[in-house]
Structure 1
Amino acid sequence: MDSEARTFPPHPIRGVRAVYARQSSCPSDFAEVVVDFVPRKAGIVFEVATDLASHGSASTEELSAYRTALETGIREELAELGARLPAAVAVVLHSMRVHEVDSHPRAFEAAGHVAVRNALAELHGQSPRPKRRRA
């Protein structure tokens, strides 16, 4: 590691896909997003791409609530990095997939956490998927 202070991300991490899907009861949870993590000088900025692709059926108000929840999840997960790896990032939302029954703000908040974890895994060369245990 360099003696210089490091920040997240050290370089652009593009096309990070995050899915939060849980089917344990009705309704279930579903959120899918694609985001970029782009370095900036300081702080965290959340942006929506001008060509945002939105898949599924949701009202304008619902999509806005989902974007807000996604941003919250991303900010919470980046805050967990804390002093270990300060965030200096613009997060750009490129795509959202919703389900008319199973999507809700909590699912998108969880997808925000997953997006940061997937970006970190990509940065460190690890698979974002957990390995299955053999019984």
Structure 2
Amino acid sequence: MAQRTDRQREFRRGYAGPVPADPEPFPAGPVPCVRARFVRQSCGGSYFAEALVDFLPGTGLSLTVEEDCGGPAAYARALFDGVAAELAGHPRLAPACEVRVAALRVHPVDSGERAFRLAGHMGVRTVLGLREPVPARKVDLRAWQGLYVTARLDDDGTLRIEGQDLTGPEYEYALTVAAADVPAVRAALGAAPASDLLHLLRRHSPEVVRRGERTWLRSLGIEPGFWSRHGD
């Protein structure tokens, strides 16, 4: 009987089944902008933790925390510990992953290291398709120097981009992308199925807004619905 490798022994922690001879790499490719979230309210105590995480191919398992992520470094480390613990329970996987924490959302009372460890578990499960991702519903693409642009997803999958330009006479506009065309937007942004589309759109917002949202969508072969209004 062949001896197990150190990596296989690590996989066996918390797992009673056989260890596969050729574990699959995790992740199989870049999975950016995953929303790792754990929220629970009860009489015995409440938890709140939410993070925007990139799961990127790497060597072993490593943590990178972006500057100004919005929360204590200890919370990012706790999230990483949760990721590692969840992966240890999946012996068919060989972690080769850089866990990049882009942003943290923190509640002043209900957030803590335990909540973020549990959010790390949820992030891995989202990537593996073991639970439904929790999508953002609305994000700011720009809110600076008189130009305000937001993007949101309706329940039916329609993408809406709305803007207000106050740099001169007031100008408002709205773009509508049908749900059938949203996969083309996702593909252009390199979004994996588990990625949060709106957060990824926000990450690319400087390029999209600079080019013009309507022009950018047309370059993808999408003709969006368009409405506009000039102020008096």
Residues 127, 67 of structure 1: alpha-carbon distance in 2 compared, 3 angstrom cutoff: closer
Tell me the SS of whatever aligns to 1:10. coil
2:96 corresponding residue in structure 1: 88
Asked if 2 retains the 8 angstrom alpha-carbon contact of 1:17 and 1:33, the reply is yes
Residue in structure 2 matching 1:6, options 24, 28, 44: 24
Deviation digits for residues 46-70 of structure 1 (CA, Å, limit 9, x no counterpart): 11123x431xxx6xxxx12212211
- Distance in 2 between residues matched to 1:127 and 1:31, nearest whole Å: 17
- Aligned pairs (5 A) from 1:53-92: 53-54=69-70, 63-82=72-91, 84-92=92-100
- Distance in 2 between residues matched to 1:104 and 1:76, nearest whole Å: 17
The alignment status of 1:31 with 2:39, answered yes or no, reads no
Q: Give the root-mean-square deviation of aligned CA atoms.
A: 2.1
- Distance in 2 between residues matched to 1:114 and 1:39, nearest whole Å: 19
Residue in structure 1 matching 2:37, options 13, 16, 19: 19
Aligned residue pairs total 113
Give the deviation of 1:127 after TM superposition.
Answer: 3.1
Give the deviation of 1:86 after TM superposition.
Answer: 0.7
- Distance in 1 between residues matched to 2:132 and 2:113, nearest whole Å: 26
Deviation digits for residues 78-133 of structure 1 (CA, Å, limit 9, x no counterpart): 11122x11111101000100000111110001001001111111xx8x7347xxxx
Unaligned runs of 5+ in 1: 130-135
Residues 10, 27 of structure 1: alpha-carbon distance in 2 compared, 3 angstrom cutoff: same
Asked if 2 retains the 8 angstrom alpha-carbon contact of 1:27 and 1:101, the reply is no
Give the deviation of 1:5 after TM superposition.
Answer: 5.7
Asked if 2 retains the 8 angstrom alpha-carbon contact of 1:36 and 1:93, the reply is yes
- Distance in 2 between residues matched to 1:5 and 1:78, nearest whole Å: 12
Tell me the SS of whatever aligns to 2:128. helix
Tell me the SS of whatever aligns to 2:32. strand
Residues 101, 5 of structure 1: alpha-carbon distance in 2 compared, 3 angstrom cutoff: closer
Deviation digits for residues 32-54 of structure 1 (CA, Å, limit 9, x no counterpart): 001001112x310111123x431
TM-score (norm 2): 0.45
